[in-house]
Structure 1
Amino acid sequence: MKCTYVSTKGQTDNFIPSSCDIICGKGKDCYDHIGNKWFRHVVSLYTDEYIAAGENKFKKIKVVSDIFNKVQESENNTGFVSKDRRSGEWRAVSVTRAREKIGHELRVIVSRREKKAEKSKKLYHEAQKFRRLYVIQQAIFVELKAKSDMEIALVQDEEMDEVQCTMMEDNVIKEIDDTDLMYMLGLD
């Protein structure tokens, strides 16, 4: 689909932006416009180069120019347009405003990347913290199980001792004859 590119020199009557045009403006309608989605994709392809430019303004300007040229040279005959607030008519924006939009989009993408990297870094540190806590928890469980096993063994030993004592007492009782039993009961 070919888009009608509106130059700054003139425009057609009742112009309506096509799906290929990049709408300069705010709001969900501008953000969700197909041309703006394509534009964000193109800008994202140059983000690494923009970041690599660092503080060098000339390199950043070159990245913006490269993006502007890429958009202008596209097969879709894409243009940067905005709606005039007073008249409500669509107009092509100046090259300066188009470059400002490109620069703004680059900064937005870089900011999102930085936030995502920071969030990823925080999540990594949280995961490391939970791994350390898990290792400590496992060590505590092993120690508690060992203590529990020892306590169970001690209780079993005590129970065994009681059983053995009871058995010994039973044997002693069996050895008592009737006379001794009557004496113990005070019946003699």
Structure 2
Amino acid sequence: MSELVPTPMDVICGRGKKSKDHAGNARFHYTIRKYKDEYRTATTKDEKTRISLSVLQELRSSSPSGEGPSRFLKLTGDEKWVDIGDSAAREKISQALREAIAQRPPQVRPKRVTRKVDKSKVEYLLSAQKALYITLCEKEGLDADDSDSGTDESSNGFYDTPNTKKRRSPSPEVHLEGSSSM
């Protein structure tokens, strides 16, 4: 028996860059993707076996470019290539189909919104907020500097209601133009 040498059509069984980058493995994964939806909708084991055998037959038959059939090769401990046979190849195909239908597309997280705000606008809004606060306190007969007013200087006064100490949900990050925090 002559020693086997992998061709670009062969599927290399194993892990690592050598098998991942092999042209035959790329053809293998392309074929798996082609049959993935059919395998997903199969309801019986017989249907799934039939699909796996169809993939095997497609890979074992000659390629469209006429380069020959794919073999499923594995490197043995004594550094020789052996064909794993149809049964083990079908198991490899079935496993690849199961993994293909189990994969979910990566979820895209929304980008964090950052806004640049002019420092003078922020100062204006804060002074307007303070003036409104003082006006409301005067209207209610409260001292604007009272510690029971519901504001807390360490948190910049961002509380929903007086005396609750309940924090509002955080707003998007704000970067002030001209500030040293950037």
TM-score range, shorter chain: 0.5 to 0.7
Partner residue of 2:71? 79
Would you say 1:15 and 2:4 are equivalent positions?
Answer: yes
> In the TM superposition, what is the alpha-carbon distance from 1:91 to its structure 2 partner?
1.0
Letter in 2 for 1:80: F
Partner residue of 2:23? 34
Partner residue of 1:184? none
Which of 62, 74, 85 aligns to 2:50? It is 62
Partner residue of 1:47? 36
Secondary structure of 1:78's match? coil
Secondary structure of 1:46's match? helix
How far apart, CA to CA, are the structure 2 residues paired with 1:14 and 1:64?
28
Question: For residues 112-159 of structure 1, what are the alpha-carbon distances to aligned partners after superposition, in whole Å with 9 as ceiling and x for unaligned?
Answer: 2x2x16x25xx4xx58xx89xx9xxxxxxxxx97x95xx7xxxxxxxx
Q: Percent identity?
A: 25
The structure with the larger Rg is 1
* More strand as a share of residues: 2
Alignment of 1:1-188 (within 5 A): 12-53=1-42, 55-75=43-63, 76-85=68-77, 87-112=78-103, 114=104, 116=105, 119-120=107-108, 123=109, 126=110
* More helix as a share of residues: 1
Q: Which aligned segments of 4 or more residues in structure 1 are displaced greater than 6 angstroms?
A: none
Letter in 1 for 2:25: N
Ranked by relative contact order (alpha carbons within 8 Å, sequence separation 6 or more), the top structure is: 1
How far apart, CA to CA, are the structure 1 residues paired with 2:31 and 2:48?
16
Moved more, 39-48 or 13-22: 13-22
Give the unaligned 5+ runs of structure 2.
Answer: 116-123, 132-182
RMSD (Å), alpha carbons: 3.2
> In the TM superposition, what is the alpha-carbon distance from 1:105 to its structure 2 partner?
1.3
Secondary structure of 2:26's match? helix
How far apart, CA to CA, are the structure 2 residues paired with 1:13 and 1:83?
15
Secondary structure of 1:109's match? helix
TM-score, scaled relative to structure 1? 0.54
Total equivalences in the alignment: 121
How far apart, CA to CA, are the structure 1 residues paired with 2:53 and 2:89?
10
Secondary structure of 1:82's match? strand
